[in-house]
Structure formats: C-alpha cells, structure tokens
Amino acid sequence: MIDAPVNGQTRLSELGQPASPAIRKGVKPIVITGGSGFIGSNLADSFLADGEDVIILDNLSRAGVQENLDWLVKRHGKKVHPYVADIRNLPVIKPAFNEAKAVFHLAAQTAVTTSLADPVEDFSINANGTLNVLEAIRTTGNRIPIIFASTNKVYGQLQDVKVSAIGEEYRPQNETIRAHGISEDRPLDFHTPYGCSKGAADQYVLDYARSYGLPACVLRMSCIYGARQFGTEDQGWVAHFLLQLLRGEPITIYGDGKQVRDILEVNDAVGAYKRTLGSIDTLSGCAFNLGGGPQNAVSLNLLLAELENLTGLQADISYGDWRDGDQLYFVADTSRLQQLIGWAPETSWKDGIRGLADWLSENRSGFVSHDTGRATG
C-alpha cells in the first residue's frame, strides 16, 4: 500500500539528520533530488540499471514516493543511497553532493494551485531550494554538471497566440506554431507564483553556468506521464484521468477541455535527460523545451475519449471555471534539443497511455485516493 501523505518536516524529524552518504571510496554517484518522485524514480532506475550508484535526495513528503523508493531499493539494492533531507536546508544537503558525478534537480513544489494558496512555501522550495542545490554544488569546488527540470509555465499564458476551436481542440492560427509548436525564442513571461518560482530557478541555473562556469542545462518540460506516476487533481493529469476512470470516480475539467498539450512518455523523457548529460559541455548555459511535440499533441477532451475507448469505461465528467495561468494551447517545439543530442520521442501518445493503463490496472490496488477528482491541463 502507498503510505498516506506525511508532512516532510515531521518525516525528517522522525528520521533525524542524515549523515554523509555511505558511498564506496572512489565511486562518484549520480545525485537526483526528488529521486523518489515520478520522473526521478524512473531516471534513477535507468542509471542504476547502467551500473551507476545513485543518491536519492528526497524529503519523502508526497504520497507514493516511499513506495517508489522501496521499489528502487528492491530492484537495485546497495547501489541505491537514500538521503532523506529537504533542499531548503543547505547545511544538511551539502554532503550529498561532495563526490557527485552529476546532479539532476527534480525536487519541487509542482502545483499551480498550491502556489496560489501558499506562495511563500512555493518560493522557498522552488526558488530558494534550487539556489541551495546550486550552492551545494558550487562550494564543492568541482565542476559537477547539473540538469534542472523546469516547466513550460515560464512562457506564461500565451494570450497572444491566437487559436481557433476546431472540433474538440484548439489549434493555433499561426502556421509555424501549428506545425512546430512553441520554441525557446518565446519571451519568458512568468504567471502565477509557481511560474515565478520555477522561472526564477530556471534563470538561476543558467546564470550559475555564466557566473561560475558550472556545467548547467535547463529542460522546460511539457506534460510527462507514465509508470510510477501518482496523478492528483493538480499534477499528473494523464494518470489522474486514468485513475479516476479505474476507480469509477468523477472527473472535473477546468475550462472546456479543448486545451491542447503535448504529452511525453516518461521513458522518452529519461532518454532526453541522459543524452543531455552526455552532451553537457555543448548544452551548458542553455534552456531547451522537452515535450512530445506536435505528433503527441492532444486535447483533454480527446484524450479522455481515447481513455474511455481503451478501458471500456464511461467517464463521469463535469466542467469548472478556467484556472489562473492556464494555456489554451501549449505544444513544445523540441527541434533544437533533437538536433543537438540526437533524441526524439519514440512512444506515440496512444501507445503510451495504453502502457500506463496496463501499469495502473496492475498496481491500482495499492493506490489511495488523496484528491477530489479534479484535474487541469
């Protein structure tokens, strides 16, 4: 069973302050902050399968992450090095980075709604926490690469991107955007406290490359989905929709459901992260979009229809008001990243959600519902 959500500070108090990770002499581990989360655990599993030692730096505050950590330890044993700590506590996290080969910074507060309810907490995790990670790396005196998980929300609401409603989806009127998506040339425009905190972190990572020569790269992600995702109303909407269908529980969509997103299967995302590390000297100081691209673009309504067809279940859907900062259309133009690292999505969105449905069907007995059945794109 998945552990119920626990307060991160309570969990840290129970476990005490972590000592320096017990890594064999001469071994340089991969450090993944948020390594027990959805993307982090999949990325860790891939590196561990390659024979790497991995430090999982996580405060274990979110539902499902303890199960992900247990899964990693069961699969890979002593090559997994759990380090239960909060990125807001710089003195405590610093030992985790001393001998690092590379750092993937995925730990974050991930929900726009949570940022609106508590912007100070959101800033302390996403902005100040990222600064702590950067300082922990910088003060080692080593040129340790860092790859940061940013978000497409740094581009704002995209209100100037004119769209037309065609059937059950919005399509850009601009032919270039319709064909390729939103590129990195798009000006930054932070909306909502979440957009501001992640955007600030995004820029800090890039500036540490400029100011300190740190090998650092930013990946601005679209919607990632796949196995080990515990979707909720605020984050992980593809898995959330599937879970609600399998539970027979209602779904509320904010807006009209015609908003379009490009979705990317997690194994494709992991491949991009690993290839980015392999080309870090070329990519350092740059930000790139990471998503499924136009070939994996789908509206919420059309994805739900496909899920109904796939599962043979009828969704109980209602529609609520639009949320702050929601984009009618976001599809990432990933052509720059593809050209530089030789990467492209391999899993079509229909095949990907079929795989996720199979995984959730096999594992849903362990899921505990901690949300009210609502989601947004």
- The residues carrying an active-site annotation are 194
Q: Which helix (H) or strand (E) holds 151?
A: strand 146-151
Look at residues 100, 103, 110 and name the one whose alpha carbon lies nearest to residue 38. Answer: 110
- How remote is the C-alpha of 118 from its chain's centroid? 20
**Under 8 Å between Cβ of 244 and 314:** no
d(CA 34, CA 324) in angstroms, rounded, equals 26
- DSSP calls for 105-127: E------HHHHHH-HHHHHIIII
Exposed/middle/buried for residue 26 (C-beta within 10 Å: 0-12, 13-18, 19+)? exposed
d(CA 152, CA 219) in angstroms, rounded, equals 9
d(CA 58, CA 85) in angstroms, rounded, equals 6
d(CA 151, CA 265) in angstroms, rounded, equals 16
Q: Is 32 helix (H, G, I), strand (E, B) or coil?
A: strand
Beta bridge partners of 375: 253
**Under 8 Å between Cβ of 314 and 249:** no
- How remote is the C-alpha of 53 from its chain's centroid? 22
Token duo for residue 41: 């655990």
Q: Please, where are the H alpha helices in the chain? A: 8-15, 38-49, 65-76, 90-93, 112-117, 119-123, 129-138, 175-180, 192-212, 237-247, 266-278, 280-283, 300-311, 335-341, 349-363
